[in-house]
Amino acid sequence: MGRGNFMALALMLLGVAGMPFLTSGSYALTVGIFAGINALVAIGLCILMGSAGQVSLGQAGFYGIGAYVSSVLSIKFGLPVALSMIAAMAVASFAAVLLAVPALRLKGHYLAVATLGFGEIINVLLNEWGPGGPSGFGDIPHLTLFGYTLSSTTANFYFIWICVAAVIIFSLNILNSRTGRSLRAIHGSETASIAMGLDIVALKMKVFILSAVYASFAGALYAHYVTFISPSSFNLFYSVLALMMVVLGGITNVWGGVAGAIIITILPELLRKFEEFDVLVYGLILTLSLLFLRKGIVPLLIEKAVRLKGGSGARA
């Protein structure tokens, strides 16, 4: 983990720690919670796209699996929430393997459609077989850790962002390991990587599972925070939204996922002033930011920083 990442992480944690004191009430914290949940999904997608070069339009499927499996296990089978969350991630990674075996043979748009199809199938299944059907179900228990129940917004806010930080550290470590380097090689040129003796299918599979686990973790956190879920929260629109976060933030950097998630979560809240016009303004902002921030926000910021430093370096 480089110094930049370390500093960014420290600043993020500082910001998180200070949030409850900077803001009054739990509204901003609730926004923060959803931003954190989205960030988890986006980080996974970021690694999948930026490092392994794979597109997924099915993250909502894993997100939904996480939410539903964890809720059902904790309600119907009385499992402790922490355990049911782990079980949910296990189920999601199993689903990821099932999908990855056929899907990773596919490329580009074909892969995108395969993942899209997967997400939609999961959504249909949740509608048909999920408890409560399309109406969803509520009264899902909060997460209890070491005898403490995370029911307050502040507690959830802290917990979720600590999870985000942990996931960032974990992801950065993976990306800096042998696996990460191999992944970048694949992204560079698949043919060359195969020639170098890399098992690209196994590698892609690993990343695919990783992104699924992140998304399902986020889904479980969502369910146990909101305590009500219905299939409509886990449909294609969410997958597209996740993609938007990653592209807007920048796919080449894990921080891009975090930044994108925060922006996409906050944006509609800031646009509440525009009332009905928010759809228009939202679309316009998205279009313009994509047109002008092509590489994504975080990579652009880094570029700017490099240029700034280069300038001052020359003077000194």
Partner 1 sequence: MFTVFLQFLFSGLTVGAVYALVGMGFNIIYNSTSIINMAQGEFVVIGGLLMWFFTESVKLPFFLAAGLTILSAGLVGLLMERLTIRPLKSADLLLMIMVTIAVSILMRGVLMFKFGKDPYTYAPFTEGEPFTVAGAVIQQQTLWVIGVTACCIVMLYIFFNKTMMGKAMRACAVDTTAAKLVGINVSRVVMISFVLSAMVGAIGGIAITPISLMEYDKGPMLAVKGFCAAIMGGLGRGRGAVIGGFAIGILESMTAGYLHSGMKDAVALVIMLAILFFRPAGLFGSVAMSRLRKF
Partner 2 sequence: MNLKRSLLLGMTGVFAAGLFATTALAAPDTIKIGAIISVTGPASFLGEPEKNTLVMLQDQINKAGGIKGKNIQVIIEDSKSDETQAVLAAKKLLEKDNVIAIVGPSTTGESMALVPIMNAAKTPLVSCAAGAPITNPVGDREWIFKTPQYDTSAVEAIYTYMKKHGITKIGIITISTGFGDAGKKALQELAPKMGMTIVADEKYGPKDSDMTTQLTKIKAAGAQAVINWSVGPGQVVVTKNWHSLKMGIPLYHSHGWGSKKNIELAGKAAEGVIAPLGRLVVWDKLSDTHPQKALLKKFETDYKALYKSEPGTFGGHAYDSLMMVVEAIKAVGPDKKKIRDYVEGIKKMPGTGGIYNMSAKDHCGLDMSAFEMVIVKNGDWEILK
CA dist 130 and 168 (Å) reads 32
Q: Which of residues 274-303 bind partner 2 (CB under 8 A)?
A: 275-276, 278-279, 298, 301-302
Among partner 1, partner 2, none, residue 25 binds (CB under 5-8 Å by kind): partner 2
In total, the chain counts a number of residues equal to 316
Contact letters for partner 2, residues 5-44 (x by CB under 8 A): x-xx-xxx-xx--xx--xxxxxxx-xx--x----------
CA dist 191 and 51 (Å) reads 16
Q: Is 309 in the site for partner 2 (CB under 8 A)?
A: yes
Instruction: Tell the smallest beta-carbon distance from residue 284 to partner 1 (Å).
Output: 6
3 state DSSP class of 229: strand
The distance from CA 2 to its chain's CA centroid, rounded to whole angstroms, is: 22
Helix-, strand-, coil-residue percentages of the chain, each rounded to 5: 80, 0, 15
Closer to partner 1 by Cβ: residue 127 or 154: 127
Closer to partner 2 by Cβ: residue 93 or 253: 253
CA dist 196 and 236 (Å) reads 37
Contact letters for partner 2, residues 187-226 (x by CB under 8 A): -----------------------------------x---x
Contact letters for partner 2, residues 136-165 (x by CB under 8 A): x-xx--------------------------
CA dist 85 and 205 (Å) reads 22
Measured CA to CA in angstroms, residue 66 lies from 150, 187, 214, 273 at distances of 18, 28, 9, 34
Closer to partner 1 by Cβ: residue 12 or 114: 114
Q: Is 291 in the site for partner 1 (CB under 8 A)?
A: yes
Report phi then psi at 23, rounded to 5.
-115, 155
CA dist 53 and 106 (Å) reads 12
CB 183 within 8 A of CB 31: no
CA dist 299 and 255 (Å) reads 9
Query: Of 121, 192, 196, 306, which one interacts with partner 1 (CB under 8 A)?
Result: 121
Query: Of 4, 15, 18, 108, which one interacts with partner 1 (CB under 8 A)?
Result: 108
Residue span binding partner 1 (CB under 8 A) among the ranges 111-119, 142-150, 213-221, 224-232: 111-119
Query: Of 237, 307, 308, 309, which one interacts with partner 1 (CB under 8 A)?
Result: 237
| DSSP H/E element including 43 | helix 27-46
Among partner 1, partner 2, none, residue 188 binds (CB under 5-8 Å by kind): none
The residue behind tokens 């962002």 is 161
Chain residues that interact with partner 2, rule: CB under 8 A: 2-5, 7-8, 10-12, 14-15, 18-19, 22-28, 30-31, 34, 127, 132-136, 138-139, 222, 226-230, 232-233, 255, 259, 262, 266, 268-270, 272, 275-276, 278-279, 298, 301-302, 304-306, 308-309
